[in-house]
């Protein structure tokens, strides 16, 4: 992992939408089935909306039926960090961008193989960079 990315709150307020700021900086959650990526099938890599670090690949994305983009693994274990979240009168594991500490969502132990994990992310915390078409494929 690279060095920590630090941006001031005012810079973040200028560069992020209100929802992106609320989700990534205030550990907010978008409503289920409303995020731009919950039903997205476009191949590519999902990056942190705050710092641009790659976080998840569309190859590990699956339909969990929860209304949020779900992945069974990050692009690299070092891409995300976790910490205990005891908010909302329950115990969960919060997922953060390891480069800038942006709140991304939560991880649960009810995902598919090969990991058995469900990284339940907020679309507002992600920015999809579509994959380049392979040679010979339509663009």
Q: State yes or no: is 97 an active-site residue.
A: no
Q: How far apart are CA 44 and CA 108, in angstroms?
A: 23
Q: Among residues 48, 51, 100, 120, which one is catalytic? A: 120
Find tokens 């983009």 and name the residue.
Answer: 69
List residues bridging with 95 in a β-sheet.
82, 105
Find tokens 């710092």 and name the residue.
Answer: 51
Helix (H, G, I), strand (E, B) or coil at 119: strand
> In degrees rounded to 5, what are phi and psi of residue 14?
-75, -35
Active site residues: 120
């Amino acid at each position: 992992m690279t060095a920590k990315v630090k941006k001031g709150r005012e810079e973040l307020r200028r560069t992020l939408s209100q929802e992106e700021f609320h989700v990534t900086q205030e550990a907010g959650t978008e409503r289920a089935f409303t995020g731009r990526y919950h039903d997205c099938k476009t191949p590519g890599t999902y990056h942190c909306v705050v710092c641009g670090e790659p976080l998840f690949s569309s190859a590990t994305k699956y339909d969990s039926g929860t209304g949020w983009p779900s992945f069974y693994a990050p692009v690299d274990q070092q891409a995300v960090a976790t910490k205990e979240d005891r908010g909302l009168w329950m115990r969960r594991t919060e997922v953060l961008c390891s480069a800038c500490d942006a709140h991304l969502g939560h991880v649960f132990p009810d995902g598919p193989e090969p990991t058995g994990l469900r990284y339940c992310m907020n679309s507002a915390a992600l920015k999809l960079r579509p994959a380049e078409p392979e040679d010979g494929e339509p663009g």
